[in-house]
Amino acid sequence: MAENDNLRVKTCKISACLVQYTRFWLPLHAGQTEKVVFFYDAAFAAKTCRVSCANPNGGSKMNTQPQQKISVQTLTQLAILVAIEVVMKLIGLGSVPVGPLYMSFLTVPIAIGAIVIGPLASMLLGGVFGFVSFMDAIKGASIMTSTLLGVSAVHTFILCFVTRLLMGLCVGLVYGAMAKACKNATANCFVASLSAPLLNTLFFMGYIVLAFYHTDYVQSLVLAKGASNPLMFVILLTGMQGLVEAIVCSVAGTAIGGALLKVTGRMNGHR
């Protein structure tokens, strides 16, 4: 009996690593139930599993329906964020042309995905951003990326798609690190939301400098801006629009992401 209890506790701890903020009931063979509650601290550092059993002989089967519900909920949230990102792009709200660049607000759904779901979701959303950006280059909708596509298709794909994929992943990791280090949910949402446009600009412009800085097209922009070095070129080209992106994304991401965190917390039985 002690060996069975030990096995059940180990199983419970393994499940606790897979399911966060979950409460459910396990049916026992005698028609009784035992309640299993997973507790996580604010930093997600300590994980414990407490088991109170009404039948000392234990049960034989576990109901996996709650895990399925969580999976469906997560997929639904992700699908909605992907749809929002695509619609924002289609109606022109996600990308506003400003000179050779776009003022992009597609980082907002990415930040929200990082906050509500996690880094893999924000990476996928970053990939959606990168895909539509690369399509703009192919269709000629973006002056800069369309021109750079004629210089190098491979480098342009990395510029449009891979840098956004990496940006989405990093935003999710930033939020995860903040959640472990800080108990203030609003501050965590703000930092993650602010990091999205900043990292997007850093990776995108950084790769332009790395791969295209000495091309005729970029050098013409350098001369037009009067930049004396690559850093000054990036600042002069993205200064004002980068500031607007940072303000919009940090405000919207903090407000929406924080509200959704509260809603999902109540859905999972937490206040």
Per-residue pLDDT in tens (0 to 9) along the chain, 271 residues: 455 455 454 444 444 443 443 333 333 333 333 333 333 333 333 443 443 334 444 444 444 444 444 578 888 899 999 999 999 988 877 777 676 777 889 999 999 999 999 999 999 999 999 999 999 999 988 889 999 999 999 999 999 999 999 999 999 999 999 999 999 999 999 999 999 999 999 999 999 999 999 999 999 999 999 999 999 999 998 888 889 999 999 999 999 999 998 887 654 544 4
Buried b (16+ CB within 10 A) or exposed e, 151-173: eeeebbbbbbbbbbbbbbbbbbb
Are the beta carbons of 227 and 81 closer than 8 angstroms? no
Residue among 85, 88, 86 nearest 96 (CA): 88
How do the residues of the chain divide into helix, strand and coil, expressed in percent and rounded to 5?
70, 10, 20
Classify strands 23-27 and 33-40 as parallel, antiparallel or unpaired.
antiparallel
pTM of the model: 0.70
The string of DSSP codes covering 72-91 is HHHHHHHHHHHHHHHHHHHT
Are the beta carbons of 34 and 26 closer than 8 angstroms? yes
CB atoms within 10 A of CB 233: 22
